[in-house]
Amino acid sequence: MDDADFPKQISRTSLGSVPVFFAEGPPPPQAALIFRVGRVDERLSTSGITHLVEHLALFPIGDQPYRYNGTVAGLQTVFSVAGSPTEIGQFFEKVTASLRKLPLDRLQFEARILRTEAASRRPGSIDHLLGRRYGPKQWGLSAYDEYGLNDPDPSAVQAWADQWFTAGNAALWISGSEVPSFSLELPDGPRKEPPVVPDSPIPLPAWLSSSSDGVGMCMVAARSTAFLLLQGLLGKRARTRLRYGEAVSYHVSTNYVPLSRDLAHFAIWADALPESALAVTSGLLEVVDQLAADGPRVDELKSALSITKKELADPVMVFILLNAAATNELLGSEDLSAAQIFQELEAATPQDLAQQLSRAWETAIVAVPHGVAMPEPRFTRVPSWSSHQIRGRRYDLRKPPLDANDAYWLVVSDEGISVIRASAKCVTVLYQDCAALLRWTDGRRTLIGNDGFVVDVFPAELRGGEALYYEIDGRLPANLVVPMGDRDGEVSVALSVNRVPRSLRTLAPGVLVVVVLLCWFGVFATLFVAISEGFSVNNNLGILIYLTPAVIGTGFVIHRYRPGTFARIMGWIRRT
Return d(Cα 162, Cα 362) in angstroms, integer. Answer: 41
Distance of CA 505 to the CA centre of its chain: 32
Q: List 141's β-bridge partners, or say none.
A: none
Is residue 193, in this structure, part of any structural domain at all? no
- Do 10 and 49 fall into the same domain? yes
- Do 372 and 410 fall into the same domain? no
- Do 566 and 478 fall into the same domain? no
> Is 301 in contact with 248 (CB distance < 8 Å)?
no
Chain segment 115-165, per-residue pLDDT in tens: 999 988 878 888 999 999 999 999 999 999 999 999 999 999 999 999 999
Q: Concatenated DSSP letters for 168-190? A: GGEEEEEESSS--S--------P
Q: Which of 495, 524, 547 is the last residue of a domain?
A: 495
- Do 245 and 157 fall into the same domain? no
CATH classification at residue 455: 2.30.29
> Is 535 in contact with 542 (CB distance < 8 Å)?
no
Chain segment 420-457, per-residue pLDDT in tens: 998 889 999 999 999 999 999 888 999 999 999 999 99
What dihedral angle (degrees, nearest 10) is formed by the CA atoms of 147, 199, 430, 480? -30
- Do 151 and 249 fall into the same domain? no
> What integer pLDDT is reported at residue 193 of this predicted model?
94
Q: In this predicted model, which residue has the larger pLDDT, 573 or 264?
A: 264
- Do 161 and 119 fall into the same domain? yes
Is residue 187, in this structure, part of any structural domain at all? no
Specify the 3-state DSSP secondary structure of 415: coil
- Do 510 and 529 fall into the same domain? yes
* Residue from 530, 536, 572, 535 nearest 555 by CA: 572
From the CB of residue 246, how many other CB atoms can be counted at a distance below 10 Å?
14
- Do 367 and 439 fall into the same domain? no
Domain count, the chain: 4
- Do 17 and 110 fall into the same domain? yes
Sign of the torsion formed by the C-alpha atoms of 383, 387, 389 and 390: negative
Q: Position 267: which residue type? A: A
Is residue 29, in this structure, part of any structural domain at all? yes
> Is 305 in contact with 226 (CB distance < 8 Å)?
no
Q: Which residues contact 12 (CB under 8 A, 6 or more apart)?
A: 19, 20, 21, 22, 325
Is residue 403, in this structure, part of any structural domain at all? yes
> Is 174 in contact with 162 (CB distance < 8 Å)?
no
Average pLDDT of the residues in 339-366: 94
| Per-residue pLDDT at 366 exceeds 50 | yes
Q: List 419's β-bridge partners, or say none.
A: 410, 427
pTM surpassing 0.85? no
Chain segment 377-403, per-residue pLDDT in tens: 999 999 999 999 999 999 998 888 777
Q: Position 172: which residue type? A: L
* Residue from 534, 511, 564, 563 nearest 519 by CA: 511
> What integer pLDDT is reported at residue 490 of this predicted model?
41
- Do 106 and 30 fall into the same domain? yes
Q: What distances in angstroms separate CA 570 from CA 407, 422, 545, one per listed residue?
A: 15, 20, 17
Q: Which of 470, 495, 520 is the last residue of a domain?
A: 495
The β-bridge relationship of strands 214-222 and 263-271 is antiparallel
Is residue 95, in this structure, part of any structural domain at all? yes
**244: DSSP letter:** I
> Is 485 in contact with 439 (CB distance < 8 Å)?
no
Is residue 128, in this structure, part of any structural domain at all? no
Give the distance between the most distant pair of CA atoms in the chain: 110
Q: In this predicted model, which residue has the larger pLDDT, 470 or 40?
A: 40
Host domain of residue 94: 3-123+137-175
Chain segment 453-469, per-residue pLDDT in tens: 999 998 888 998 888 87
How does the average pLDDT of the chain come out, rounded? 87
- Do 353 and 211 fall into the same domain? yes
Q: Which of 434, 467, 495 is the last residue of a domain?
A: 495
CATH classification at residue 73: 3.30.830.10
Chain segment 264-300, per-residue pLDDT in tens: 999 999 999 999 999 999 999 999 999 999 999 999 9
Is residue 181, in this structure, part of any structural domain at all? no
Is residue 268, in this structure, part of any structural domain at all? yes
Return d(Cα 265, Cα 142) in angstroms, integer. Answer: 14
- Do 454 and 370 fall into the same domain? no
